[in-house]
Structure 1
Amino acid sequence: MDGIFGWLGDHGAHHDLIRHMGRAACLSPEGLLHEHSSQLLGVAACSRFGKADIHVENGLAAALAGRPRFLDDELAFIAREQGPANAVAHGWVRHGEQLPLLMQGNFAFAVLEPLKKRACLALDRVGAERLCYAHRGGHLVFGSSVQNVAAHPGIGRTIDPQAIYDYLYFHTIPAPRSLYQGVHKLLPGQIVTLKNGHLDARFYWHADYTPVDADFAAHRTHFRDLLDQAVRDTDAPATAAFLSGGTDSSTVVGTLTAARGAPIDTFSIGFDADGFDEMEYARCAAERYGSRRHEYYLKPADIVTAIPVIAREYDEPFGNDSAVPTYFCARTARDAGFERMLAGDGGDEIFGGNARYAKQRLFENYFRLPAAFRRGVIEPIAHVPLLSGRFPLAKLKSYVRQANMGLPLRLESYNFLHRTPLDEILAQDFIHAVDPSAADAALVDVYARTASDHYINRMMHVDLKFTLADNDLRKVGTMTEAAGIEVRYPLLDDRLVAFANHLPVDYKVRGQTLRWFFKEALRDVLPEKIISKAKHGFGLPFGVWCTQHAPLGELVGDSLSDFKARGWMRPAYLDHMSGMLRGPHASYYGVMVWVTMMLERWLQANGH
Structure 2
Amino acid sequence: MSGLCGYLGTTEGAAVQHLLAGMAAPLVRFDDSPIRIAAAQRGGIAVAAAAGSASVHGSGGVLVAVWGRPLLNGCAENLAERFSALWQIHGAKACAALSGPFAVCAMAEPGGQLLLAIDRSGVHTMHYQQLTQGVLFGSSAAALQAHPMAVKTLDPQSIYNYLYFHTVPAPRTVFRGQRRLQPGEYVQYRHGHLETGQYWKMEYQEESNMSFGELKRQFLSTLEGSVRRSSGGARTGAFLSGGTDSSTLAGMLASVSGTAPRTYSIGFDVAGYDEMRYARIAARHFGADHHELYVTAGDVASAIPRLAAASDQPFGNSSAVPAYYCANMARADGVTRLLGGDGGDELFGGNERYAHQAVLSRYEQLPSAFRQVALEPLLFGLAGQLDLTMLRKARSYIEQALMPMPARLETYNLLQRYGPAEVLHADFLAGVDESGPIGQLNDCYWQGKGLSQINRMQTLDLRYTLADNDLRKVSLACELGGVEVAFPFLSDEMLAFSGRLSPKDKLNGTQLRYFFKRALRGYLPPAILRKKKHGFGLPFGHWLQRDAGLQGLVLDSLSDLKKRQIIRADFIDRLMRTLIAEHPAYHGTMVWVLMMLEQWLARSDAPVRK
Same fold (TM over 0.5): yes
- Match of 2:355, SS state, is helix
Give the Cα–Cα distance (whole angstroms) in 2 for the partners of residues 155 and 339 of structure 1.
33
Q: How does 1:56-455 map to 2 (within 5 A)?
A: 56-71=58-73, 76=75, 79-80=76-77, 83-210=78-205, 211-236=207-232, 237-384=234-381, 387=385, 390-450=388-448, 452-455=450-453
| C-alpha contact (below 8 Å) 2:103/2:116 kept by paired residues | yes
Give the Cα–Cα distance (whole angstroms) in 1 for the partners of residues 374 and 66 of structure 2.
61
Give the Cα–Cα distance (whole angstroms) in 2 for the partners of residues 581 and 369 of structure 1.
39
| C-alpha contact (below 8 Å) 1:14/1:38 kept by paired residues | no
> Which residue pairs with 1:20 in the alignment?
22
Quote how far apart the aligned CAs of 1:606 are.
2.6
Quote how far apart the aligned CAs of 1:212 are.
3.3
- Match of 1:121, SS state, is strand
Give the Cα–Cα distance (whole angstroms) in 2 for the partners of residues 366 and 96 of structure 1.
48
Quote how far apart the aligned CAs of 1:15 are.
1.1
> Which residue pairs with 1:496 in the alignment?
494
Give the Cα–Cα distance (whole angstroms) in 2 for the partners of residues 398 and 566 of structure 1.
38
- Match of 2:117, SS state, is strand
Give the Cα–Cα distance (whole angstroms) in 2 for the partners of residues 421 and 388 of structure 1.
27
Residues 1:511 and 2:517 are matched in the alignment: no
Give the Cα–Cα distance (whole angstroms) in 2 for the partners of residues 263 and 600 of structure 1.
43
| C-alpha contact (below 8 Å) 1:241/1:267 kept by paired residues | yes
| C-alpha contact (below 8 Å) 2:23/2:48 kept by paired residues | no
| C-alpha contact (below 8 Å) 1:207/1:450 kept by paired residues | no
Q: 393-402 vs 166-175, which deviates more?
A: 393-402
> Which residue pairs with 1:5 in the alignment?
5
Quote how far apart the aligned CAs of 1:375 are.
1.3
Residues 1:596 and 2:594 are matched in the alignment: yes
- Match of 1:222, SS state, is helix
Quote how far apart the aligned CAs of 1:25 are.
5.6
Quote how far apart the aligned CAs of 1:477 are.
0.8
Give the Cα–Cα distance (whole angstroms) in 2 for the partners of residues 296 and 421 of structure 1.
39
Quote how far apart the aligned CAs of 1:44 are.
0.7
| C-alpha contact (below 8 Å) 1:121/1:191 kept by paired residues | yes
Quote how far apart the aligned CAs of 1:422 are.
1.9
Give the Cα–Cα distance (whole angstroms) in 2 for the partners of residues 24 and 484 of structure 1.
15
Give the Cα–Cα distance (whole angstroms) in 2 for the partners of residues 374 and 418 of structure 1.
27
| C-alpha contact (below 8 Å) 2:128/2:137 kept by paired residues | yes
- Match of 2:57, SS state, is strand
| C-alpha contact (below 8 Å) 2:72/2:83 kept by paired residues | no
- Match of 2:402, SS state, is helix
Give the Cα–Cα distance (whole angstroms) in 2 for the partners of residues 388 and 355 of structure 1.
31
| C-alpha contact (below 8 Å) 2:580/2:588 kept by paired residues | no
| C-alpha contact (below 8 Å) 1:32/1:44 kept by paired residues | no
Give the Cα–Cα distance (whole angstroms) in 2 for the partners of residues 477 and 509 of structure 1.
29
| C-alpha contact (below 8 Å) 1:239/1:340 kept by paired residues | yes
Quote how far apart the aligned CAs of 1:388 are.
5.6
| C-alpha contact (below 8 Å) 1:577/1:589 kept by paired residues | yes
Q: Which amino acid aligns with 1:124?
A: D
Give the Cα–Cα distance (whole angstroms) in 1 for the partners of residues 287 and 505 of structure 2.
30
Give the Cα–Cα distance (whole angstroms) in 2 for the partners of residues 463 and 482 of structure 1.
25
Quote how far apart the aligned CAs of 1:84 are.
2.1
Quote how far apart the aligned CAs of 1:89 are.
1.8
| C-alpha contact (below 8 Å) 1:122/1:190 kept by paired residues | yes
- Match of 1:577, SS state, is helix
Give the Cα–Cα distance (whole angstroms) in 1 for the partners of residues 449 and 200 of structure 2.
11
Give the Cα–Cα distance (whole angstroms) in 1 for the partners of residues 4 and 386 of structure 2.
57
Q: Relative to 1, partners in 2 of residues 1:589 and 1:87: Cα closer, same or farther, differing over 3 Å?
A: same
Give the Cα–Cα distance (whole angstroms) in 1 for the partners of residues 27 and 550 of structure 2.
28
- Match of 2:342, SS state, is coil
- Match of 1:295, SS state, is strand
- Match of 2:197, SS state, is strand
Quote how far apart the aligned CAs of 1:390 are.
4.7
Quote how far apart the aligned CAs of 1:384 are.
2.9
- Match of 1:180, SS state, is coil
Provide, for residues 106-160 of structure 1, a one-character-per-residue CA deviation record: whole Å limited to 9, x for no partner. Answer: 0110101122211111111000111111112131111011122233333321100
- Match of 1:157, SS state, is coil
Quote how far apart the aligned CAs of 1:370 are.
1.0
| C-alpha contact (below 8 Å) 2:42/2:61 kept by paired residues | no
Q: Relative to 1, partners in 2 of residues 1:97 and 1:264: Cα closer, same or farther, differing over 3 Å?
A: same
| C-alpha contact (below 8 Å) 2:184/2:199 kept by paired residues | yes
Q: Relative to 1, partners in 2 of residues 1:506 and 1:40: Cα closer, same or farther, differing over 3 Å?
A: same
Quote how far apart the aligned CAs of 1:423 are.
1.3
- Match of 1:583, SS state, is helix
Q: Which amino acid aligns with 1:520?
A: R
Q: 160-169 vs 227-236, which deviates more?
A: 227-236
| C-alpha contact (below 8 Å) 2:238/2:250 kept by paired residues | yes
Q: 28-37 vs 335-344, which deviates more?
A: 28-37
Instruction: Report the identity percentage.
Output: 42
Give the Cα–Cα distance (whole angstroms) in 1 for the partners of residues 579 and 287 of structure 2.
41
Quote how far apart the aligned CAs of 1:389 are.
5.3
Give the Cα–Cα distance (whole angstroms) in 2 for the partners of residues 388 and 399 of structure 1.
16
Q: Which amino acid aligns with 2:6?
A: G
Give the Cα–Cα distance (whole angstroms) in 2 for the partners of residues 32 and 389 of structure 1.
70
Quote how far apart the aligned CAs of 1:319 are.
0.3
Provide, for residues 257-285 of structure 1, a one-character-per-residue CA deviation record: whole Å limited to 9, x for no partner. Answer: 12223211111111111111000000000
- Match of 1:61, SS state, is strand
- Superposed CA RMSD in Å reads 1.6
Give the Cα–Cα distance (whole angstroms) in 1 for the partners of residues 285 and 183 of structure 2.
36
Give the Cα–Cα distance (whole angstroms) in 2 for the partners of residues 471 and 591 of structure 1.
15
Quote how far apart the aligned CAs of 1:169 are.
0.3
Q: Which amino acid aligns with 1:268?
A: S
Q: How does 1:507-546 map to 2 (within 5 A)?
A: 507-546=505-544
Give the Cα–Cα distance (whole angstroms) in 1 for the partners of residues 426 and 249 of structure 2.
49
Residues 1:557 and 2:552 are matched in the alignment: no
| C-alpha contact (below 8 Å) 2:266/2:536 kept by paired residues | no
Q: Relative to 1, partners in 2 of residues 1:183 and 1:582: Cα closer, same or farther, differing over 3 Å?
A: closer
| Deviant stretches of 4+, over 4 Å | none
- Match of 1:383, SS state, is helix
Give the Cα–Cα distance (whole angstroms) in 2 for the partners of residues 41 and 294 of structure 1.
47
| C-alpha contact (below 8 Å) 1:560/1:597 kept by paired residues | yes
Give the Cα–Cα distance (whole angstroms) in 1 for the partners of residues 386 and 68 of structure 2.
55
Quote how far apart the aligned CAs of 1:474 are.
0.5
| C-alpha contact (below 8 Å) 1:137/1:154 kept by paired residues | no
- Match of 2:121, SS state, is coil
Q: Which amino acid aligns with 1:225?
A: S
Q: Which amino acid aligns with 1:349?
A: E
Give the Cα–Cα distance (whole angstroms) in 1 for the partners of residues 27 and 437 of structure 2.
27
Quote how far apart the aligned CAs of 1:465 are.
0.3
Q: 2:47 aligns with which of 40, 43, 46?
A: 43
Q: Which amino acid aligns with 2:499?
A: N
